[in-house]
Structure formats: C-alpha cells, structure tokens
Structure 1
Amino acid sequence: MCRIAGIVTNHFNEEIAGRQVTAMCNAMQHGGPDDAGLYTDVALGIAFGHRRLSIIDLSTNGHQPKADSQNLARITFNGEIYNYRELRSQLVKAGAVFTSETDTEVILQAYLHWGTAAFAALKGMFAFALYDARQQAVYLVRDSAGIKPLYYSTQNGQFIFASEIRAFNAAGFNLAADERWPAWLLAYGHIPEPFTTLNGVFSLPKGHYLCRQKNGRTELKQYITDTTLIKITTAAEAKQGIAASLQSAVTRQLISDAPIGVFLSGGIDSSILSLLASATAETQLKTISIFFDERQYDERQYQQAIIEKIPGQNFNHLVTAADFEELFPQVLKAMDMPTIDGINSWFISKYAHDGGLKAVLSGIGADELYGGYASFGRIKLIQYLRNLPRAALKSFSKIALNNYKRIAYLAYDHPAADYLFLRGLFPFADIARILDISQRQLKDILFGENTPLIRSPYNGELASWFETNFYMQNQLLRDTDVMSMSHGLEVRVPFLDEDFRHFTAQVDAGLKFNNGRPKQLLIDSFSNILPEAVWNRPKMGFSFPLTQWMRNHTNVSNEGLYQGKFAKEAIRDFKAGKLHWSKAYALYQIQKHG
C-alpha cells in the first residue's frame, strides 16, 4: 500500500519534472512513510514517483519505482495483489525470472508475458502506472472495484497522475478549481467520479486502464467484461457459496508481512469478518473498536459478544467530544476532497496505527451487495412517482418536509436523479438558493451529461447498483482510503473480493433482498458462528455522536461565518435540532473553502 505520482511529456526537463514529482510524493508522505523513490528518463520523457508503506516483502526489494530484470517495463504501484503467489507460480512455469518476493514484480512479469490481459488476472486492490519500453507507452490501471484511487490530467501537453488530488496542487501545476464542486457536495455529500475539485483532473474509472502513446494520444479501455452468470435460486446453495467464498476472501486478504487486524464495530459485517479472520489467522487476531460516553451510540455489548468468541487482543478506545474538538482540524487536513463522511474512519484508523497495525480488514461492501440500506425499500416508490407529470414532481420542492422535497429530483430523466431521490443531501431547489444560481444552471451541473435513464425494474438489484456506484464508490471507499492512509494504514475490504462479488452476482435477487430483515441471507449464511445479540438488533452503522459535537463546535455552528441568508437559516435550524449534522458539515466546508 503506497502513494504514487508521475509526469509523462514529450517536452521533458529532468530537473523540473523530478522536482515536481518529488513535491507530489512529499505531499502524500503520510500514505507511504517507509520509503521514497524517484525514477526519471530524459529519453523517454517520464518521471515516476513512489511513497512506500511496507506490507509485503519488507526488505529493500520492495523499493519502487521498480523495473524487471531486463528493464523492459517499469512500475509505480499502490495496493495489494492477493493472488500474487498463484500468478507467480504460473509465470515461473512460463519462464519468468524473479528477483524479489513482492507482488509488484508479479504485476511486471504478468504484463510482459500476457500484455493487457494481465490486468484482469489480478485479484486485489490496486492503482498503478506502468511504462512499456517496447511500445513506449504508459498505462494507468485501477482495480475492478475502485478501491484504490488514481487521478490524472492531460492538460498543457503533459500527462500527470497521482493518488491524491492534493499532489497536483503541491507540484505547482496551477490547475484551476472546478467551480461546480459545491453543487456536487450539497447534492451528493461527495464529489462524484470522474470529477474532482480541480478542472481537468479526473478519476480513472474502476476496471479500466488508460494508455498514453509516445505521440501523446490517450485511450481509455475497460479490461473487465461482464460474463454470463448462472443464477443460484436455492437458499442452501446460496448460503453455502457465500460462506465459502467470503472465508476464502478473508484468508487471502490476511496475507501480510506486517501486523494486521480487523475493525470491529459490533455490527454484522465487522463481526463476521472478525470471526472468519480469527479462525484462519496464523497469529492471534487484533481487533480495533471505538465506544462513546453517549449511550445511544455505545456498541460495547455487541463488540464484547464477538470478543468473547475469539482469542487475541482488542484495542478498545473511548472517543469523547473533547477528542473531536481537539482533533477535528487534523481530520479536515487529512481530507483530500470535500465530503460529509470520513470522520469515523479517521479516528479508528488513528487508533489502529497507534496499536501497531499496518493493515486492517473492513466490512465495506456488505450493505451494498446484500440490501443493508433503507434505499432498498424506498426504490420501489420511484416507478410510481415517475408516472406523475413533471410539473407535479417539481412542485414537491415547495413542501416543508425535507425528505419529500427530494421527490423533485425525479422531474429530471437521469439516473443520478433517481439516486438523489434515494440519498440526496439537500433538495434541488435548496441547493440553487444556497449557491445563488438558477435551477437551470444547477440542472446542467448535476444532469448535464447525456446519460439515459436506467430503464430497468426498480428493485433490489438496481438499488444495489446505485449504492455501489455512487455512495460506496465515491464516499465510503474514497474517504476510507484517504483517512486511513493519512495514518499510514492500509484498509482491506473482503466483501469486495473479486470471487465473492462474482458469486454474489449469481444469487437470485429474491434471495438476496426479499427476506424481511436487511441482509437476512448474509446473516443466515453465518448463523452457525454469528451471535444472535449481534444480528437481532436495530441497524446503527458505524456512527459517531456528531449532532451534539458539531452543534457545540465553535466554527461549525457559528452562523456569522456563513455566506447568504439561506445558509445562515440552515445553521440556525441545525442548532435548533431541525437539520441533520451532515448538511451543516457540508455548508461548513463550502464556506471554509469558498
């Protein structure tokens, strides 16, 4: 797990490029505190940079950027390849020569032997840049689930890439801000891919590679293709496959030469992972938990139900309002792009790092794949609401109740409008008033791309697609990555393992989503090990007492700091208990960066 950056240009100045890439890497040093590397080649016009967090092969053999023994290719790599040992065995039989035990070298040899077909063979979380000296081409590649971030820009005759947006600014590229980001934040609670806060800087799509040829031409291609799936329609087969494939994913993702543990919140997903990891870990498992003085957020009884079933050490940390007040500036500093999420990830990552861990397992993905959110029930309403006249849908923006105001999004025929009805932060008309722009301008920002409405049944499968490709992709995964890496911690997500996702996709929707209790099929698949106290409880999620903490925060609740009548009124509503903390947090970030 690392941070990467680089520049490719036909007008190469080695001194300038080396200085810029070094500045980019230094800005991301938190994500790679163990080593730094820089490779420049004047003839080729490339500068690759790397910051290393040592997880596999802790020796100097893991130093990057790394080349193969014949210097045919060079790579700067962020991530983990969980099946690298199996791939290595195949490649050795094919004649590959290895000089280290790293998964990085496996990527190089896989590419040299199999070309771009190698990308689909990699199972893990990854984002890397690879230079092919034979073709004089550079490839940017991102994993199929989009777990690891990778951003790029092709402005001013240069091809620039980095793991974090802050790196572009640190190098002095003087890229203008994308003035649309406040609208995206107020609508989504995050900046949706492929956009960023910088104009002309984009996120590489998951499951894709971008190839830049010597002549400067770029081509974006998807390397993951949909395969025909055999539907699983019996509960027994589904439960057996879920249990087996998740156990396999956990076992594979425990591979590490550095200390590894599990985030244990007390919820269903983290509890399952803790139990499975404990059963297969070569050493006693370490778990990390958080609790609060505020009783309604206290999950210690559920955490304890799991701790009693597994050997090992649990690091249990009390987080108080005073901790939040003291450390909130550091949370904001760690944030790479504005978001309403990530505070919880920052704190638990800090405690994991303080406990000596370099990697942890997290339960991200289970809710999205198995129906853990309220949106799985609400989505059925869309098919009825979309039969209303557009004027009637728009009129909902005038209703006093905020949740009903979101219906006005459905006046626009765009898949993002469906998602914003399900999960939108601020209603459409309110965003226009806060930013003092017309509704037509806002429409162009949110729905300007000519993306056809998804004409498919409004069911659990579609809700899963929305939650996976919007909420999880742009918010949960991105915020978890940047907040954990700010502490030099790697977060692994077994529920997004390629084989587990492939099996899940085969399970009939009726089994996955229509069993009464959310994630019932997942619960049933592990009923032999999961205590009833954990699954037979109200859903809480990994939540902090942020309503009270932010209400007492000097700056967040200070209406005098906010621009515009509507924003000031919103903060007054927040202090009066009429507005959710996430909305106040979004407004605070806009005024802070505005």
Structure 2
Amino acid sequence: MCGISGGIELHGQSLPIKIVERIVTDQKMRGPDATSIDEFQIGNHQVALGHNRLSILDLSNRANQPMWDETHRYGLVFNGEIYNYLEIREELIAKGCEFTTASDTEVLLRAMICWGKEAVQKFNGMFAFAFIDKVKQKILLVRDRFGVKPLFYYEDDDRLYFASTARALAPALQCKPNLQYAKRGLDYGIYEDDTGFSPYENLEYLPAGTFKEFDFSENKITGKISKYYNFFEAVQQLKEELLGLSNTVLLEKVKSLLQSSITLRLRSDVPVGVSISGGLDSTTLAAFILDKQDSLTGFTLGEKNNSFSEGPLVELFSKTSGLHVNYIWPKIDDINKAFWKTMYDQDAPFRGGSAIAQNQIFKAVNEQKIKVIIGGQGGDEAFMGYRKFFLFYFNSLLEQGKYLSAASFFCKQIPMFMSESRQINKYWYRRTAYMKQPKTRSNLILEDGDSFYLGKPSDMSMLERQCLDVTRYSIPTLLRYEDRNSMGNSVETRLPFLDYRLMELGVALPICLKLKNGHGKFCLREIAKNYVPDDIRLDRRKRGFPAPDEMWLKEGLAQDIYQKLSDSWSKIQPFLSDKQTFENTFSPRQIIERPGAFRESITLCWLSGIYRYL
C-alpha cells in the first residue's frame, strides 16, 4: 500500500519533477517508509515517476519503487497488493523468470513484461499502477476491478500527470472543486461512481476495472481507455453456472471462498489486525481468522459498557474467542481536531460522523504500530444486507402479482422493523434519495449534474440493482472513505468481501440465500454458525460504526465549524446568497438541529479549502 505519482511533459518545455515532488511530499502518510523519484528523458520528453512506500511484503530496500527490469526498459510504480502473487510468481518461474526480491511488486512488473495487458486478468488484489515502456514510449495506467485503490489523472496534448490523491495534484494544475460533485453528494449521498467523475474539474478518476494506455511517441499524448472487467457480465455468467446446485453446496462455496479470501489477505511480513464493529460481517471475519491462528488484535469504536456503542457486543465476542480488543471512544476535547484531520485526509466531502470515527480507528491502529487491518466493507453489497433490498424485493413480489408471498415476506420483517425503531428518523431522512425526483433543500449555490434514481425500476431485476450498488451507488464512495482514512494514518486496509470471486458469487446467489426468515445476509449467518455468538449472528439491527454526531456537535464541534467558516466568509461567499443566509442556516444551533446542516457545513469546509491550512 503506497502512494504513486508521475508526470510527462512533451518537448521538454517544463519539468514534471516540480509537480511530482509536491505530490510525493503531500502523499508522505501513504508511504512513510521510503520515498523516491526517478527523473529521466525519453527522446526530448521529460518524465518523472514518484513513489511513497508503506512496506508490507519484503521489507528490504530492494523492493522499493520505482522498480525497473534489468534492461531499464520497463518501469513500474504500484499502489496496493497482489494477494495471489505467490501463485503468479510460480507461473513466471516456470516460464524462466528470475526474481531478485520477495515482493509482489516484482511479480507485477515481470507479469506485465511477460503477458502484457492480459496479466491484469490474473491478479487477485487491490491495485492502481503505472507501467512504462521506454522503447515504445507508452505508459499504462491500471486500476483494480472494484476501485479499492484510487488513481487520478490529468491529460492534454502536451502533458500527463497522475497520482493516488488529488490534494496536491489539483492545485498544482489549477483544477477547481467540482460543484456538481458536491451537489450530487448532498442530493444522494453518492460522491464516487463507476465513471471518471472526480472532486475536481479537469481531473479524472481512472474508472474501476479499466486501464488507459497513453502513447507519447509522436508530438502529442494520446490516450485510449479500455474496460477489462465487467462485473454484471461476470455475475450473469456465474449465475448460469450455479443453476441446479443445492443450497447446501452453495453455502459451502460461500464459506470456502470467504476462507480463501481471508487466507490470501493475511499474507504479510508485518502484523495484521482486524477492524470489528460488533456486526455480523466484521465479527465473522475475526472468527474465521481466529479459527486459523491463536491470537488477533481488534479495534472497535466503543466502550465495553456503553450500550450506545458496539462495545458490549464486541466484548461478548472477545470473551468467547480470545480476540484482544482496543476500544476507541474519542474524548470530546479530541473531536474538533479529529474532524479537521478527517477533512484533510479525505480532501472531499463526506456524509457525517462515521467518517470521523473511522479515521480515529485507523489512528489507533497506527499508534499500536500495526500496518495492516482486515475490514468488513462489501458484505452488505454482496449478500443484501441493506434495508432497501427488503423493500425492493417486497415491491418486486407485488409487481409480479405474488400477493401471498409478499404478505408472508412482509410479516417476517416485523421483528426487524421493531429492532430498528430507534433509527426511523435516519431512514425517513434518507427516503428522498430513493425518489425519482428527490426533494433537495440545500442552502448552497451549486451546479446540478446528472440525476440518479436509487430505487429499483419495475423493469430492473434484483440482480441488476444489486450490481449497481457494487459498481456505482454504494461501494465506490465507501471505498474512498476507507482508503483516505486508512492511508491518512499509514495503515493498509484489506477487504475480504471485495475479493472478486466472492463478490460475484454473493450477487449471483438465489435471493432465498440472502433474504430469508426476516434476515438479510442469510447465507453469511448460516456459515457463521459455531463461529459467531447468536446474539451477534442473529441480531436484526444494522451495525457499523454508529458515531454520536449529535453529542459531538453539541459539545463544541458545531461551534468550531461555524467559527472557522465565519472567519473564512470570503471563501464560502460564492456558495451562499448572502451573509445573513449563512448566519441563519449555519449557526451552531442550526448545524446541530437542522437535518442536512452538518453535511452542508462539511461541504462548505471542503469548498473553502480551509482544512488545508489548519
């Protein structure tokens, strides 16, 4: 897990190293163990490749980057992990390749030299990398199947720049905040998606599951983007292959693939811990890990005896499993600082306190000198854990005229409705995002962009809608939170549920193995028997990191946000009609009490850029 960067300037008109140096300095927390920049010429073109390394596999200096082959024709800067690198390494050795390191980086480099673009199909991992061929004067940017690792780029006829993050790249290239990005986030809670849409104008994300090849052999830079992975097509194909298999066999497949995914993600030359919330997904991961090893360190947002938090359930699991738990419950005095650190690390808006809580978890992981953490992201998308899937399925039964089945399904949800009664206000506020024309009440002056309908149209299958959560509506934004918060604290987060084999299987499963007996993620609950206590395994409440937003705001965060925004009136003025509007809608009391005000104030903090200077 690292930070990568690079630049190409044609005709030698300027030196890309100036911008790459700024990026490498800014991305220090992504890779504090080693920093390097290679600057060179190809013809009369100036090239620079930068890398910040967080050492995980092969801790020696030989595995540092940029990495080159022995001829110095092919070079690589790489962020992420190739989890099946040992298997690919054996394939390459059989073909006559020799290795000088024990790193997955060298495996990636030699795989690209050996197989070219087709090598990407062999990789099971999270990755974003740039592979350069000096002779052909081409550079290939590649991003993993689900976009776990970020990659931004800027191109015009005469130059190309790329980086893991935009915080230094955007101002260096004078890219302004994307107001449509901010507006969509406020309207739908969706920031990232399956396109190149990014937080900054003229700066693009490389979409997940794609590569883009840039040719600079002529007098201009030309780029061609290609998609190497189509999640929907892969799921459709797998669904056909699963036809006729019994539920028992399918459950065994889920268990086997989850265990394989975990085993691959435990490959590390440094200690590995687990982020645990007291919910089904992360607890199952911890339980499966402890079934294979004697000890494990966990991190949770909560206190042992605080019923508002996940602490009591995590404590229950720790007593039965032997998990050593670090309980994190930020002090009020630390929350203001934690908020501005999260703003800085994210360099983009976020929805609320859960992102702050997540950042604090990774801060605690770093303080315990653990570099790798296993997380439960992706379980809800793979196995229909979100409440909306219950509604989508209920509506689909009605649309098909299956009224008795719909009535039976509804009755089985009553215990879930009762267990979630305390969160009714949250669900009610979020309902507008699922309307065909959401009723937004933003007080900010922003630009409208493409509209989304987050519901399930009657002509869309449940499988199609579930795929959209993976590729567009849910996973991309959550992965941005995860990556920026973890890497902002020099921690690598690994996500077993986002193994493409497991995600494809989960979505391809029959609905009866996902929604059953009033539960979502039914298959996961079944395979967790004898591993996870029933108080957790059969809990109907939706778990996560339930941050106490209101308490934090009341205890001083709202006042701090208001004061800093007020002191920066000239920077936020373009997004508000007048000063009085600001005073009326973003006073500390309004930030605490008005629905959506906290999220709008976060957006203003990002648009103003004030977090960069605190």
User: Under TM normalisation by the shorter chain, which class is it?
Assistant: 0.7 to 0.9
Shift in CA distance, 329/292, structure 1 to aligned 2, threshold 3 Å: farther
What's the secondary structure of 1:275's corresponding residue?
Answer: helix
8 Å Cα contact 1:74/1:130 also seen in 2:
yes
Shift in CA distance, 403/68, structure 1 to aligned 2, threshold 3 Å: closer
Q: CA deviation at 1:288?
A: 1.3
Partner of 2:227: 222
Q: How does 1:357-396 map to 2 (within 5 A)?
A: 357-379=370-392
Partner of 1:33: 32
8 Å Cα contact 1:550/1:557 also seen in 2:
no
Q: How does 1:462-473 map to 2 (within 5 A)?
A: 462-473=464-475
What's the secondary structure of 1:280's corresponding residue?
Answer: coil
What's the secondary structure of 1:144's corresponding residue?
Answer: coil
What is the RMSD computed on CA atoms of the aligned residues? 3.0
Q: CA deviation at 1:198?
A: 1.8
Q: How does 1:241-390 map to 2 (within 5 A)?
A: 241-281=253-293, 284-292=295-303, 295-311=306-322, 313-340=324-351, 342-379=355-392
Shift in CA distance, 467/114, structure 1 to aligned 2, threshold 3 Å: same
Between the aligned partners of 1:384 and 1:592, the Cα distance in structure 2 is 47
Q: CA deviation at 1:506?
A: 3.3
Partner of 1:161: 162
Amino acid paired to 2:158: G
Per-residue CA deviation, residues 142-191 of structure 1 (Å, 9 max, x unaligned), is 01111000011113621110000113146x22223333233123123353
Shift in CA distance, 369/384, structure 1 to aligned 2, threshold 3 Å: closer
Q: CA deviation at 1:405?
A: 4.8
What's the secondary structure of 1:243's corresponding residue?
Answer: helix
Q: CA deviation at 1:212?
A: 0.2
Match of 2:523 among 506, 521, 525: 521
Amino acid paired to 1:539: K
Between the aligned partners of 2:300 and 2:10, the Cα distance in structure 1 is 50
Amino acid paired to 2:104: D
Between the aligned partners of 2:473 and 2:229, the Cα distance in structure 1 is 21
What's the secondary structure of 2:16's corresponding residue?
Answer: helix
Q: CA deviation at 1:586?
A: 3.9
Partner of 2:211: 209
Per-residue CA deviation, residues 1-27 of structure 1 (Å, 9 max, x unaligned), is 10000012322367x222221111111
Amino acid paired to 1:261: G
Shift in CA distance, 403/43, structure 1 to aligned 2, threshold 3 Å: closer
Between the aligned partners of 1:120 and 1:560, the Cα distance in structure 2 is 47
Partner of 2:20: 21
8 Å Cα contact 2:392/2:456 also seen in 1:
no
What's the secondary structure of 2:79's corresponding residue?
Answer: strand
Q: Unpaired segments of 5 or more residues in structure 2?
A: 400-427, 567-571
Shift in CA distance, 581/323, structure 1 to aligned 2, threshold 3 Å: farther
Amino acid paired to 1:35: A
Q: CA deviation at 1:244?
A: 0.8
TM-score normalised to structure 1 length = 0.85
8 Å Cα contact 1:80/1:103 also seen in 2:
yes
Q: CA deviation at 1:380?
A: 5.4
Shift in CA distance, 33/206, structure 1 to aligned 2, threshold 3 Å: same
Q: CA deviation at 1:291?
A: 1.0
Amino acid paired to 1:191: Y
Partner of 1:186: 186
Aligned length: 552
Amino acid paired to 1:182: A
Shift in CA distance, 128/520, structure 1 to aligned 2, threshold 3 Å: same
Between the aligned partners of 1:403 and 1:501, the Cα distance in structure 2 is 26
8 Å Cα contact 1:150/1:162 also seen in 2:
yes
Partner of 1:12: 12
8 Å Cα contact 1:261/1:360 also seen in 2:
yes
Shift in CA distance, 540/582, structure 1 to aligned 2, threshold 3 Å: farther
> In the alignment, is residue 539 of structure 1 matched against residue 542 of structure 2?
yes
What's the secondary structure of 1:180's corresponding residue?
Answer: helix
Amino acid paired to 2:551: Q
Q: CA deviation at 1:141?
A: 0.4
Between the aligned partners of 2:563 and 2:163, the Cα distance in structure 1 is 36
Per-residue CA deviation, residues 258-301 of structure 1 (Å, 9 max, x unaligned), is 111101111111101111112224x6211112215994522222
Q: Unpaired segments of 5 or more residues in structure 1?
A: 387-400, 412-426
Partner of 1:418: none
What's the secondary structure of 1:112's corresponding residue?
Answer: helix
Between the aligned partners of 1:156 and 1:297, the Cα distance in structure 2 is 55
Between the aligned partners of 1:51 and 1:484, the Cα distance in structure 2 is 15
Between the aligned partners of 2:505 and 2:433, the Cα distance in structure 1 is 34
Partner of 1:236: 248
Amino acid paired to 1:219: K
Between the aligned partners of 2:19 and 2:53, the Cα distance in structure 1 is 18
Amino acid paired to 2:318: I
Q: CA deviation at 1:117?
A: 0.4
Shift in CA distance, 410/169, structure 1 to aligned 2, threshold 3 Å: closer
Shift in CA distance, 118/360, structure 1 to aligned 2, threshold 3 Å: same
Q: CA deviation at 1:379?
A: 3.3
Amino acid paired to 2:30: G
Between the aligned partners of 1:293 and 1:574, the Cα distance in structure 2 is 33
Percent identical residues = 25
Between the aligned partners of 1:559 and 1:356, the Cα distance in structure 2 is 33
Per-residue CA deviation, residues 414-437 of structure 1 (Å, 9 max, x unaligned), is xxxxxxxxxxxxx44424xx2347
Between the aligned partners of 1:64 and 1:182, the Cα distance in structure 2 is 35
Between the aligned partners of 1:328 and 1:403, the Cα distance in structure 2 is 23
Partner of 1:430: 441
Per-residue CA deviation, residues 426-456 of structure 1 (Å, 9 max, x unaligned), is x44424xx2347xxx62xx1249xx9x9977
Shift in CA distance, 328/249, structure 1 to aligned 2, threshold 3 Å: same
Q: CA deviation at 1:124?
A: 0.5
Amino acid paired to 2:160: F
Moved more, 126-135 or 287-296: 287-296
Between the aligned partners of 2:432 and 2:8, the Cα distance in structure 1 is 47
8 Å Cα contact 1:185/1:191 also seen in 2:
yes
Shift in CA distance, 220/244, structure 1 to aligned 2, threshold 3 Å: same
